[in-house]
């Protein structure tokens, strides 16, 4: 394979891409933990995915995020509306996930801090 057939991306896109994927995974598990404590999914697009159970939700969430990161990294050099480089969206998404994880940690502190396993047949919401 020669160098002309490879598509090279700048190394500085790797950091935000990996951080987004790690934070997305953390967000999935924190969301499931919060739901077990009585919280509700605020994102109407992700709420139907919770019907499949904890592992299905986590797989879909991380998979969709990975696809989005792949697309953003592929088009990182393209300018959105001819103004903003698409790669900057990776940095904005990283900052957004950091804020989201901070918010979820605050909610966990309010609801309780015990993390539970999501691989068993325990329902997401307890009967009231």
Q: Residue 64: what pLDDT?
A: 92
Can you give the pTM of this predicted structure? 0.74
Tracing tokens 């804020």 back to the chain, one arrives at 99
Give the chain's residues under pLDDT 70: 1-9, 111-128
Q: 8-15: long-range contacts at Cβ-Cβ below 8 A with a sequence spacing of 24 or more?
A: 9/73, 9/74, 9/76, 10/76, 10/87, 13/73, 13/76, 13/87, 13/90
103 and 39 in contact (C-beta within 8 Å)? no
80 and 70 in contact (C-beta within 8 Å)? no
């Amino acid at each position: 394979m020669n160098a002309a057939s490879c598509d090279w991306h700048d190394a500085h896109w790797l950091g935000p891409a990996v951080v987004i994927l790690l934070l997305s995974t953390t967000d999935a598990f924190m969301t499931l933990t919060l739901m077990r404590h009585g919280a509700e999914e605020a994102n109407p697009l992700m709420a139907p995915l919770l019907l499949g159970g904890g592992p299905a939700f986590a797989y879909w969430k991380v998979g969709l995020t990975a696809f989005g990161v792949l697309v953003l990294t592929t088009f990182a050099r393209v300018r959105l509306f001819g103004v903003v480089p698409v790669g900057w969206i990776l940095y904005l998404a990283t900052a957004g996930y950091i804020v989201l994880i901070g918010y979820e940690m605050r909610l966990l502190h309010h609801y309780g801090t015990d993390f539970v396993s999501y691989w068993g047949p325990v329902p997401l919401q307890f009967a009231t």
